[in-house]
Structure 1
Amino acid sequence: MLPSLGALADATLRVWRLDDGAWLLLAGPPAAAPRAPREPGRADAAFVAMPDAGGLWLEVVPTAGQRPDDVVRRVMPVLAGVAHLESTVESLTTELASRYEEIDLIYTIGELLGRSQAVAEVADHILREVASVLGARQAGIRIVDEEAGVLRLVAIVGSAADGIPREVPLDAPDDVVVVRAVRTRRVETGPQAQWVAGEVLAVPMLHAAPGGPTRVVGTLALADRAGGGTFTREETKLLAAVATQIGTALENTRLAEREREQHTLERELAMAHDLQQKLMPTPAVLQGEADVAVTSLSAESLGGDFYTFARFGRGRIGVMLGDVSSHGFSAALIAAQVMAAAGIYANSAIAPDETLALIRESLGDELEHTEMYLTVFYGILEPSTGRLAYSNSGHPHAFRVPRYGPAARLAPTAPPLGLAMDAELGRESLPWTFGTDMLVLCTDGLIDQPNAEGERYGEQRFLEQLEEGRLLSPAELERRILADVAAFGGEPHDDTTLLILRM
């Protein structure tokens, strides 16, 4: 670095040190001795001590036209900084060398924890290593059992093991050093004469999850220091570092176990989701009778939306769509029961309101027990009469979309199933233009989809999409609407189902 700095300063730079009465050149172009002290009347060189550099001197020989002192003022801060940095590095190197045994301990513990699935498997080995390096005759690791309300001993070394309790209540008095360490979340020391001789040093094992609160996982404690006396500050710092390692390993073990349980649950939910999807028929069920497009999306692995179809012969078909008043596992269970009941009753070709009454009766106990309810639309299209007969238990989003004119709501004929178990379900019948009219059913997850500003997608926008795309095929119109909803609000925030049928 010195030649480069000299080139920038347009001067020859040398660094010297006085060694046993003789000047020793440490850096710079070869020279037998520094050009100093100056000869009388000469000012072509400078020789100055470098501040905080441990006896180093700087020789400056500038080119013609420069004053040596000016060059010194420019280069000295750089050289002094480098010298200070080298001194710091040397000091740190010396410190690290002196702490080799402690560093080796940290490394050994890290290696042990890295090889083991569970801290308990290597806890005894870790304790022996720690006790050996820090000169403690007794050592123990305890973990916090929040459910039992105790500090539980998982590893111990030392001759006093038989006299130390395996469990200590977390609400024990403060004179129990390990409990005090948990309570204060700090290193605690003090006598514990009823257990061990000498001073007890207890360090809380903490784990700070990113973005989460710091948890006390347990304690690492030493006692009965060899040679007597108290543990030094350096020994306490080392023990705290070891405790951090063990605490992190313990927490990682706990999180790994929780993750395994979560993966198991996710696999089971995925299987349940696949089963739920298979319970709902594909449009192919109505192939040859009607042109159908349907999409059902769950906000969670399992959802509360459902739909099904029925064929009665002679062109008559039944269409059912519903929405349970929640989502997740409980809603999916109700939806599955509805589809099972619909499979039994809808295929009997009875009137829509009678079908819903039978479904309500079969689900009565379940709805009362869970305090859930569901909205259901069930319609039967009959080409021979040119009519749609339907029963609507509180489902708000059911529409007839004609070739001309506005979309017409197929109004509810009864409250949702589960809210009024004895209510008349009612039935409506209206003319249907086969070949042009479309039956459109959706759940509130589509209508209520919010955007980034919290605005709802809304029924008005939905109806505009229906009326603008009424000449499209059901599949084309469905893709158009779902794309518009996604552009408006992104991923579904609730269970979302859209069914479009023309026959």
Structure 2
Amino acid sequence: MSPAADHGEIEQLTLELLDRYEEINLLYDIGQALAGVFDVDAIGRAVVDRAMAVIHAEAGLFLLVEGETARVAYRAGDVPAPLLAGLTPGADLLRRALAAPVLIMQPLLAVRVQHGATPFGVLALAGKRDTSAFTASDGRLLQALAEQAATAIRTEHLVRELRESERIRSEMEIARQLQRSLLPQSSPRILGVDVAATCQPSGHVGGDYFDFFSLPDGRFGVVIADVSGHGVSSAIVMAGLRSTIHAEVQSGFDPAQVFRRANTLLARDFAASGMFVSAFLAVYEPATGELAYTNAGHPPPYLLAAPSDEAERLEAGGLLLGVVADAAYETGKARLDPGAVLVLYTDGLTEARAPNGEFFGEAALARVVREGHALSATGLHSTVLGAASTHLGGREPDDDVTLIVVSRRG
């Protein structure tokens, strides 16, 4: 290959890397801006302003679609009248924008804002300041912003629906609905790994939360958390935490970086409430079995390689989230080797009280995990919960009980 061809390939690779770097920075920025925002117009303003700045557009708008109606939630710059007319209910341009993930019709760039099968609207830019054409790279950037906006709008809808129903439902029922809506509906499927997970709510609503997520590089993540307090307030903090983590993990930062940013936002937004969060976040690399994790004051998960081994407690991390704005967090390393079991839980499990007041405790949990090491993830999960239930002796638990078992097949 000629030197000129080599130089051309290097230039192309450099441009691609710069595009990716720009997208990551944009996701950081918008993730921070949208965390804890529960107003659709404010979401539209944040997304349009950043899109125009990064893509160098003359004008932009966020069109909110609700059923058969549509309204401009935010507009900046001089959007041409024909484009505005085309983005009205029944217009062909709006139909096309909602039908395609990305629509480029110079001088228009539009992307669909959608969560699952539910379309929320259209994010559109009109004209570039240097009069050049919109590119596929511009479309990818705008689509990444639209995905963040969709997550924020989905959270806003949940909070708004719950606030509206507060007139006719008790606070606890509202909180239960929000808590359930934030939890995954099923365990993820990961090659070579079995996962079993549940959150058993107590009679009063606590703040237990867990979730799974996939990273663009093929890694798999899990988070478990316990928000202080009960009722709607803890459920709303949980929603804010979920939104923050989902925005941050897409950036590719390590767990400690994610928790540093989440802690700053929680300390800023919820300091007056006096609420805090214990949480554990881990990212698993399927090819190597490596776990990168950080623990923010949460009960340390058990990692047991074999019944004869000493269980490893995953403790590296830092303070509870939301207590000190500039708290430091470290990332710990561990390995989930073939045959190993990882058990994550909230303190509602170990603090389950027998009729005589005795806690189930860490020692009993460690013993049950060791004895059930050879079971499947589902089998060990059921065994642990069964042991805790027996210990309760017919009593209702005082707190939510969340348990996640991850086993790597040998």
> SS of the counterpart of 1:486?
helix
2:329 matches 1:425: yes
> SS of the counterpart of 1:323?
strand
Match of 1:321 in 2: 224
2-structure distance, mates of 1:301, 1:308: 21
> SS of the counterpart of 1:285?
coil
Match of 1:413 in 2: 317
CA deviation digits over 1:49-83, x for unaligned, max 9? Answer: xxxxxxxxxxxxxxxxxxxxxxxxxxxxxxxxxxx
Per the TM alignment, residue 269 of structure 1 is displaced from its structure 2 partner at its CA by 4.2
Retained in 2: the 8 A contact 1:289–1:315? no
Per the TM alignment, residue 456 of structure 1 is displaced from its structure 2 partner at its CA by 0.6
Relative to 1, partners in 2 of residues 1:451 and 1:284: Cα closer, same or farther, differing over 3 Å?
closer
Match of 2:380 in 1: 477
Higher relative contact order (CA 8 A, sep 6+): 2
Letter in 2 for 1:346: V
2:178 matches 1:264: no
Match of 2:53 in 1: none
Per the TM alignment, residue 481 of structure 1 is displaced from its structure 2 partner at its CA by 1.0
2:400 matches 1:495: yes
Match of 1:303 in 2: 206
1-structure distance, mates of 2:354, 2:298: 24
After the TM superposition, which segments of 4 or more aligned residues of structure 1 sit over 3 Å from their partners? 261-264, 268-272, 282-290
Letter in 1 for 2:379: E
2:273 matches 1:370: yes
2-structure distance, mates of 1:364, 1:403: 40
1-structure distance, mates of 2:313, 2:352: 20
2-structure distance, mates of 1:355, 1:289: 26
Match of 1:221 in 2: none
Match of 1:446 in 2: 349
Match of 1:273 in 2: 176
> SS of the counterpart of 1:376?
strand
2:263 matches 1:339: no
1-structure distance, mates of 2:377, 2:212: 16
1:385 to 288, 292, 298: 288
TM-score in terms of structure 1 length = 0.45
In the TM superposition, 1:14-413 aligns within 5 A as: 264-266=168-170, 269-288=172-191, 290-300=193-203, 302-313=205-216, 315-404=218-307, 405-413=309-317
Letter in 2 for 1:480: T
> SS of the counterpart of 2:212?
strand
1-structure distance, mates of 2:232, 2:226: 14
Per the TM alignment, residue 264 of structure 1 is displaced from its structure 2 partner at its CA by 3.2
Per the TM alignment, residue 281 of structure 1 is displaced from its structure 2 partner at its CA by 1.2
Letter in 1 for 2:329: L
Letter in 2 for 1:385: T
Retained in 1: the 8 A contact 2:241–2:262? yes
Relative to 1, partners in 2 of residues 1:298 and 1:272: Cα closer, same or farther, differing over 3 Å?
same
Count of residues in Structure 1 that have an aligned counterpart in Structure 2: 241
Relative to 1, partners in 2 of residues 1:362 and 1:327: Cα closer, same or farther, differing over 3 Å?
same
CA deviation digits over 1:83-140, x for unaligned, max 9? Answer: xxxxxxxxxxxxxxxxxxxxxxxxxxxxxxxxxxxxxxxxxxxxxxxxxxxxxxxxxx
2-structure distance, mates of 1:387, 1:368: 35
Retained in 1: the 8 A contact 2:268–2:325? no
Relative to 1, partners in 2 of residues 1:453 and 1:262: Cα closer, same or farther, differing over 3 Å?
farther
CA deviation digits over 1:154-184, x for unaligned, max 9? Answer: xxxxxxxxxxxxxxxxxxxxxxxxxxxxxxx
Match of 1:73 in 2: none
Letter in 2 for 1:415: L
Retained in 1: the 8 A contact 2:175–2:231? no
Give RMSD over aligned pairs. Answer: 2.3
Match of 1:77 in 2: none
Retained in 2: the 8 A contact 1:465–1:481? yes
Per the TM alignment, residue 329 of structure 1 is displaced from its structure 2 partner at its CA by 2.1
Per the TM alignment, residue 277 of structure 1 is displaced from its structure 2 partner at its CA by 1.2
Per the TM alignment, residue 367 of structure 1 is displaced from its structure 2 partner at its CA by 2.9
Match of 2:360 in 1: 457
TM-score in terms of structure 2 length = 0.55
2-structure distance, mates of 1:281, 1:288: 19
CA deviation digits over 1:390-448, x for unaligned, max 9? Answer: 11111123111212412211014201112222121111112331x31122111111101
Letter in 2 for 1:436: G
Relative to 1, partners in 2 of residues 1:487 and 1:284: Cα closer, same or farther, differing over 3 Å?
closer
Per the TM alignment, residue 275 of structure 1 is displaced from its structure 2 partner at its CA by 3.4
CA deviation digits over 1:318-357, x for unaligned, max 9? Answer: 1111111222222222112111211211233320011111
Per the TM alignment, residue 386 of structure 1 is displaced from its structure 2 partner at its CA by 3.2
Retained in 1: the 8 A contact 2:172–2:231? no
> SS of the counterpart of 1:411?
coil
Per the TM alignment, residue 287 of structure 1 is displaced from its structure 2 partner at its CA by 4.8
Relative to 1, partners in 2 of residues 1:420 and 1:412: Cα closer, same or farther, differing over 3 Å?
farther
Per the TM alignment, residue 289 of structure 1 is displaced from its structure 2 partner at its CA by 6.3
Per the TM alignment, residue 383 of structure 1 is displaced from its structure 2 partner at its CA by 2.7
CA deviation digits over 1:277-305, x for unaligned, max 9? Answer: 12111344345463111111222453201
2-structure distance, mates of 1:304, 1:271: 13
**Uncovered stretches (5+) of structure 2, i.e. residues with no partner:** 1-164
Retained in 2: the 8 A contact 1:400–1:440? yes
Relative to 1, partners in 2 of residues 1:496 and 1:481: Cα closer, same or farther, differing over 3 Å?
same
Letter in 2 for 1:299: S
Retained in 1: the 8 A contact 2:264–2:326? no
CA deviation digits over 1:226-255, x for unaligned, max 9? Answer: xxxxxxxxxxxxxxxxxxxxxxxxxxxxxx
